[in-house]
Chain A
Amino acid sequence: MKKNPYLERMIIDSLARSMHVHQMVKLAVRVISDYDLYQRSGFPESIAIPQIDAARQIVRDIEQSGLITRFVEVLIDVHENGEMGRKIPISFLPQIIKEIESMGYAYRIQDGIFIESGDGVKTKGWGVLREGSFYDFSFLRVDIVGNTELVRMYPEKEISRLYSDLQELFGRLVENREGRVWSWEGDGGLAAFYFSNKNIDATICGIEVLLELFLYNLLDRPIKKSLALRAAVHTGQCRFLNNTEQIESETLKRVNLIESQQTEADNLTISPGVYSDLGGKLASFFRPFEISSQNFLYNYRLRWK
């Protein structure tokens, strides 16, 4: 996020008007866990720091740590829910939120966080994730079946149109559900989903990819042979790096494995952790299959009656 002095001034004024220094520090600690105002400001501990000075120091430190939006999320939380049973109305909060939104972010009420809004720049971490930190994700992996054969059978021009159509389709469907495409390798890709409904979003996105591809094969495909995909969804913890190519993670290895070894063409396979989150209606789309003793995966494919 770019530096915004106007936003910082508003937050400083808001803090100074809304709470005592002790409370400001408690909120700062929620964002920077080892935050020490006296150490940061240079005031001796025997002297009470004036409210406006404390607010300036805290906002400066938080801005330098790149955590301004995270701090505003905390302000929204205490404004809405109070702290330790005590209400803390935050002055200028609507103006602060509006200013952040004008910078290309949107507040996502369900998750209590700011994320990049639809029309602005989209980063792989939604503008929220911190480099090197661990988060829970749901991953959707898709791969074209028989890529080598297709490349050998058809002219390069047709294949490149086909793959670019698929990439566009995948990107559009993933972003419609607030996911992010982390990698695309020409014949397949990986998308990450992060928010509260991540397992449902990734699963429905996988189904949508298969259904849209079915229509594409019927009406728009540039080659005679139908394009077939394997898709898989798995959830788990993963370290986030802005350069997603460098991420090494057991969760990613597992989703790749499910897709490449336990999924047939035109199928979507999901792991038990994903399945258990789906709810009755969506779960009924899937059939369990045993991969080893008492170890199940769940499968969806479009069938015609």
Chain B
Amino acid sequence: MDLLIFSDNSRAHDYFSTFRRNKFFSGPVYYSLNELKKRVNLAEIKNIPTLIYLDRSTLSEEETGSLFRFLTRKCGIYWGLIDPQNQTRDIGALFQQGGADYAGSSVIQDGISLKRLKGVQKYLQEYRKVIIDNPPDKGQAGILNNLIPVKQGWREIVPGKEYTFFLMYIEMDGKSEMEKKYGPSNLAVALNSFRDYVESSLQPYSGRLWIWSRFGGIVLFPFSPDNNGFIYSAFRMRLFKELYDVEGSLFPNFISLRIVLHAGNLVYVKENTGQVISDTLNSLFHLGQKYAEKGNLYVTEEVFQYLPVGLKDYFVPAADFDGRRIIRMKAPGH
């Protein structure tokens, strides 16, 4: 998260004197108040969550109110107020207007610390449902430390060796109802057509069906940190799902899909995929079968960090699973 301070007060640097360089915040960077609009607009374009502190010691009540309104309209910009002279009469109103922190004279005296800013982050995440993409803590499930990227895609992959993959779990909801509703041969034809659809939709993004069992399966994408075509393909598939229902699906009703995107290491095998023992695969199956709710697409925290910034606004935090942070895609509809 970026940290920007706007103040025309020469003592502004002192407010953050106890603040230490850390992995959670970049900054603080100090600007004069007359640069606020320009800098905030730039920060909004960058689409990185940004925490702004506004020093009101040289501002009138009207000027402060006008800047609050400006900041509140900005996407991905969160703001707090520094008030060295305790001029603000109604602090609660600040939060009602979208504020995330208030630092009066006593707070400033002690200095604004990392602990305080982490508290602001926690407040934004828990109560304002903001997704802030922090680096994982030690021991937290993550793949950043032991990546085995695949630079040349499938050409490079040799069976029996371990690589990092992006994985997609995809399965139709309502299996048993479908078994009852449709005859076995009609169902088999419709399911085969669904499998072809999954395969042809993901192939252009280097996705390969790896495990398939009638109603769904696992698709593998070779991992490359620079290539987020995997996430785009899943997002796109979900966005266009209902057009598939209209044109491609052989089922008379709209189908419902559970999709989970995960990333991790596993030993690639071509055959006997049912016998693969892998924590990554295990987690994915658990998420797909025990956690995912009907019709939803989820990404694990391992995947979320690779989401193109523009897509992040369409995800919201979901309940954690097995100590792992899970993020759900909002459902597109009409």
Contacts and interface: CB of A to CB of B under 8 A. Distances in A.
Contacts of B240: 211
Contacts of A286: 334
A248 to B, nearest CB: 34
Interface in A211-265: 211, 214-215, 217-219, 224
A132 to B, nearest CB: 35
Given A211-B239, A304-B330, 14 more contacts: A204-B247, A207-B243, A211-B243, A215-B236, A218-B310, A279-B246, A281-B254, A285-B242, A285-B334, A302-B333, A303-B332, A303-B333, A303-B334, A305-B330
Interface of B: 41, 45, 232, 236, 239-240, 242-243, 245-247, 254, 308, 310-311, 314, 330-334
A301 interface: yes
11 contacts: A204-B243, A215-B239, A219-B232, A281-B246, A285-B242, A301-B334, A302-B333, A304-B330, A304-B331, A305-B331, A305-B332
A282 interface: yes
A285 B232 CA distance: 24
Nearest to A302: B332
Given A219-B308, A224-B45, A302 B334 contact: yes
A214 B238 CA distance: 13
Contact of B239 (A214, A217, A279): A214
Given A218-B310, A218-B311, A219-B310, A305 B243 contact: no
Contacts of B310: 217-219
Interface string A69-111: 0000000000000000000000000000000000000000000
A63 interface: no
A72 B261 CA distance: 53
Contacts of B314: 304
A114 B90 CA distance: 75
B48 to A, nearest CB: 15
A208 interface: yes
A300 interface: yes
Interface SS of chain B: helix
8 shortest interchain CB distances as A-B pairs: A218-B310, A304-B330, A305-B331, A285-B334, A282-B246, A281-B246, A303-B333, A219-B310
Contacts of A281: 245-246, 254
Contacts of A214: 239
Nearest to A220: B310
Nearest to B313: A218
Contact of A300 (B41, B232, B311, B334): B334
A305 B247 CA distance: 23
A303 B314 CA distance: 11
Given A215-B236, A219-B310, A224-B45, A305 B333 contact: yes
A253 to B, nearest CB: 28
Interface string A293-305: 0000000111111
Contacts of B334: 285-286, 300-303
A304 B247 CA distance: 22
A204 B330 contact: no
A233 B333 CA distance: 20
A208 B247 CA distance: 13
Nearest to A305: B331
A204 B246 CA distance: 9
A207 B333 CA distance: 12
A146 to B, nearest CB: 18
A211 B333 CA distance: 11
A211 B241 CA distance: 11
B240 to A, nearest CB: 6
Contact of B332 (A208, A217, A282, A304): A304
A190 B254 CA distance: 31
A300 B333 CA distance: 10
Contacts of A279: 246
B223 to A, nearest CB: 20
A282 B41 CA distance: 40
A214 B240 CA distance: 12
A275 B308 CA distance: 36
A219 B232 CA distance: 10
Nearest to A279: B246
Contacts of B246: 204, 279, 281-282
A245 B179 CA distance: 55
A35 to B, nearest CB: 42
Nearest to B249: A281
A279 B308 CA distance: 36
A197 to B, nearest CB: 10
A207 B334 CA distance: 10
Contacts of B331: 304-305
A281 B254 CA distance: 8
A67 to B, nearest CB: 34
A217 B311 CA distance: 10
Contacts of A211: 239-240, 243
Interface string A149-189: 00000000000000000000000000000000000000000
B38 to A, nearest CB: 13
A281 B243 CA distance: 9
The CB with the most chain A CB atoms within 10 A, among B311, B314, B332, is that of B332
Interface in A23-47: none
Nearest to A221: B310
Contacts of A304: 314, 330-333
A305 B45 CA distance: 25
A301 B333 CA distance: 8
